[in-house]
Structure 1
Amino acid sequence: MLLDRLFAAAIGDAAIDLVTADGQRRRVGSGPPRLTLRLHDGSVGRDLLMNPRLRFGEAYMDGRLTVEGGTIYDALHLLMAGPEVQGALGWLREALSPVLRRLQQRNPLWRSRRNVAHHYDLSRTFYELILDPDLQYSCAYFSDPAMTLEQAQEAKKRHIMAKLRLEPGMRALDIGSGWGGLALHMARHCDVRVLGVTLSAEQLAVSRQRAAEAGLSDRVTFERLDYRELAAIEAGGFDRIVSVGMFEHVGAPHYPAFFNAVHQLLTKDGVALLHAIGRLDGPSATNPWIRTYIFPGGYSPALSEVLPAVESSGLLTTDIEILRLHYAETLRCWRRRFSANRPAIQALYDERFCRMWEFYMAGAELSFRVQGHMVFQIQMSRSLETVPLIRDYITDADRQAAASTVKAQTALETESVV
């Protein structure tokens, strides 16, 4: 059977049971099966043969494919750890890949707004059910493997602050400011003025509300602006620029425009930091299911695609750090929280939405564990003398901030006891 061959090629030395819509059970692979995939209608097999990377997720979302004896995470772990299979139309997609990649990653302003709304304009309540209280929707920093998600997200913010070298009175820009947590952290702990820009109407409203509640509206402002719009109206006005979890939505054709904007917006002795998902194994294309249902227009690049654009902009790369499995651990935490709060999430949306997000978070975590995804942090400046000659300053500032946090928490706990 062609479908058996497709699965056998994907799972390598493992084995699964495959149950077709007519009730036939077949063993695929050798050895005891790890789980069972059940197809609930005859069209699933045909869809998988044509385009498995798109149709497998669709079938799971629709309940036309279910997993028995395990979870969708277990099934994807088997399928993603082996060689990638393309299906019957794989040769055509491969031939058209250079053209398709540029079209898929072309994100003019109108499309960027639409793409952001697709994912980030979901309700705040939904994200509160899976993220930490600060609504950090990006890779945490597990400087200690025993950290909770909350601790690791605080560590991420401290790590970024250490690289930015913020000083009181500075003006900072947060490109892709999310729900405002990082901008508020910078203002609260570093006494700087911050402008956060986002394309999400929902994130903008939440960010402004949080700034008002924290009494920081005089130091932190949020606007619904694109980096291209901001660069057109302001130049050289920011001592520090940070962008966390936004670059994945830029698209390779727009990298020169992005870094040119950063160069234009940054003061001559300023520092910029880019934190984004990347690939260890070179340029590729976004998974078609992710591109269709989760991040339209999204792409996680290899550094070989990013650094030429940095260089051509006139920015100087002063530090690069690769975070390998930190995002896998972050996603594991989110996935567990999603599972624990699934009834509440289903009440907000529906069963298909829940299955879509289960598939997304399982696949995303595994992309970091078995498929070469990572997170990179690139520190940039316009001058060779902006940051110290050796990077010990990052570790020193990181540890000093962590110690201050522990001291403050201890004092707060002591005060509450008294």
Structure 2
Amino acid sequence: MWLLDKFLGRLIKRGRLTVTDADGADYRYGDGDADFPDVAVRLTEPGTARAIASDPRLGAAEAYMDGRMRVERGEIRDLITLIRKNQQWEKTGPLAPRGVFKRARQATRQRLDHFNWRRRSKRNVAHHYDLSDELFRLFLDEDMQYSCAYFEDPEMSLEAAQRAKVIHILAKLALKPGSRVLDIGSGWGGMALAIHRVTGGEVLGITLSEEQLEAARRRADDAGVADKVRFELADYRDVEGRFDRIVSVGMFEHVGPPNYNRFFRHCHDLLAENGVMLLHTIGRIGVPNGTDAFTSKYTFPGSYVPALSEIVPASEKAKLMATDIEMWRVHYAMTLEHWYDRTKAARDRIVELYDERFYRMWLFYLSGAGVSFRYGGTCNYQIQYVRRRDALPLTRDYLEREKARLRTIL
């Protein structure tokens, strides 16, 4: 316990954390500040403290998943909040691996993990998105939007905030009647169906998830628009043709830095000369950094959260003009808090679908991600691209006018 005790002593300065080791000894950290959580955890097996100290995020996650670490006062979200709020991004530098050799090993692993050849890309997507549709229906909104919602009012419901997100994105696309649109990473089809309702034109949605493909096609059939809104199991690298608009929401995180230049070159070639593209991605607020071990192992293998300094240079090389860059700071934190609460409410059904360990893993994933968006170094970026500088109105005033129009349609 001495190594974990030393680590927590340096880390927890505000709030209160009580750790009871497997031998029954209590260790207390923090000043009791009421603006920070008060959490108590119990380690139930010898060796758990050492496992956590040697790899804090993955070690704590697996100890919680296995029941070797139990949260006895508060809940797992409170524990992660306490830790991350004590290391708020604005007040500290990013936490990096210690030692040059450890940094080199991590950099090499990251390059290999993020190369994302076609076969690996599909396998990585299937790991997460081919889980049971019922699981996602238990915590997502009715439209099955599995990306950051847009809270125009903090008191908005999840459903209202996801609708606001769709409207915000469609306004930036400056859609025209009859537009031909490509949706890269189309999920369960909600965005593509909304675009068709606005334009009446053809929409092609592509995904690497067979579960999502089946659900999206079913939704298009049920809406009677399958002849206009098509969904295909396809890699973005294999799409051909020309599109008036391209939208990609929550997919760029799976492209991988070695493929950024190719991604944007292909989007440039697919986009009509006077077309508009909107890229919505999780991003890193600061400098580039690697993917943590828990995410790589349990939730999004092969994923990578890019810094803005990695996205824009790649798109510049493809001669795509970034006409609008917007940073969403805490919207995803609010979204994930809704998902976390809904997951807790659906505990019994999730355990029935999978097991208790999976349920705790999912809670850890949602709470860790939410806290990272609220106190850590992650955010969302929306970047609007054009090939021609006159493809959009002269000023941004059109966005609010377009959003008002879309609210009457969607």
Q: Same fold (TM over 0.5)?
A: yes
Task: Point out the more displaced range, 335-344 or 94-103.
Answer: 94-103
**What's the counterpart of residue 47 of structure 1?**
51
Contact 2:246–2:278 (CA under 8 A) maintained in structure 1: yes
**What's the counterpart of residue 306 of structure 1?**
311
Q: Secondary structure at the match of 1:296?
A: coil
Residue 296 (1) aligns with residue 263 (2): no
**What's the counterpart of residue 386 of structure 1?**
391
Task: Point out the more displaced range, 255-264 or 34-43.
Answer: 34-43
Matched residue type, 2:349: A
Residue 375 (1) aligns with residue 376 (2): no
Deviation string, structure 1 residues 218-271 (Cα, Å, up to 9, x no partner): 1000100011111xxx24x11100000000111111111110110111111111
**What's the counterpart of residue 173 of structure 1?**
182
1:222 is aligned, of 231, 235, 240, to 231
TM-score (norm 1): 0.92
Matched residue type, 1:213: D
1:246 is aligned, of 213, 234, 251, to 251
Aligned residue pairs total: 400
Deviation string, structure 1 residues 140-199 (Cα, Å, up to 9, x no partner): 111122211111111111111111111121110000000111001111232121000000
Distance in 2 (alpha carbons) for counterparts of 1:318 and 1:85: 33
**What's the counterpart of residue 7 of structure 1?**
8
Tell me by how many angstroms 1:365 deviates. 0.4
2:117 is aligned, of 108, 113, 130, to 108
Contact 1:10–1:85 (CA under 8 A) maintained in structure 2: no
Tell me by how many angstroms 1:104 deviates. 2.5
Distance in 2 (alpha carbons) for counterparts of 1:190 and 1:404: 10
**What's the counterpart of residue 357 of structure 1?**
362
5+ long unaligned stretches in structure 2: 88-93
Matched residue type, 2:273: K
Residue 75 (1) aligns with residue 79 (2): yes
Change (3 A) 1:182 1:393: same
Tell me by how many angstroms 1:9 deviates. 2.0
Q: Secondary structure at the match of 1:306?
A: helix
Tell me by how many angstroms 1:31 deviates. 4.3
1:274 is aligned, of 276, 279, 291, to 279
5+ long unaligned stretches in structure 1: 406-418
Deviation string, structure 1 residues 99-143 (Cα, Å, up to 9, x no partner): 233122111111100000000001111111100111000011111
Tell me by how many angstroms 1:314 deviates. 1.4
Residue 37 (1) aligns with residue 46 (2): no
Deviation string, structure 1 residues 299-357 (Cα, Å, up to 9, x no partner): 11110010000000111111111111111111111111111111111111110010000
Distance in 2 (alpha carbons) for counterparts of 1:16 and 1:329: 24
Change (3 A) 1:86 1:261: closer
Matched residue type, 1:291: S
Contact 2:198–2:406 (CA under 8 A) maintained in structure 1: no
Change (3 A) 1:204 1:171: same
Q: Which runs of 4+ in 1 moved over 4 A?
A: 30-33, 84-87
Q: Secondary structure at the match of 1:128?
A: helix
Deviation string, structure 1 residues 270-317 (Cα, Å, up to 9, x no partner): 111100000111211112111110000111111001000000011111
Deviation string, structure 1 residues 14-39 (Cα, Å, up to 9, x no partner): 33211111222222344489221211
**What's the counterpart of residue 91 of structure 2?**
none
1:258 is aligned, of 243, 263, 281, to 263
Residue 136 (1) aligns with residue 145 (2): yes
Contact 2:39–2:74 (CA under 8 A) maintained in structure 1: yes
TM-score (norm 2): 0.94
**What's the counterpart of residue 17 of structure 1?**
18
Note the aligned Cα RMSD (angstroms): 1.7
Change (3 A) 1:242 1:113: same
Q: Secondary structure at the match of 2:289?
A: coil
**What's the counterpart of residue 57 of structure 1?**
61
Matched residue type, 2:392: V
Contact 2:3–2:50 (CA under 8 A) maintained in structure 1: no
Distance in 1 (alpha carbons) for counterparts of 2:30 and 2:96: 19
**What's the counterpart of residue 330 of structure 2?**
325
Distance in 1 (alpha carbons) for counterparts of 2:183 and 2:408: 25
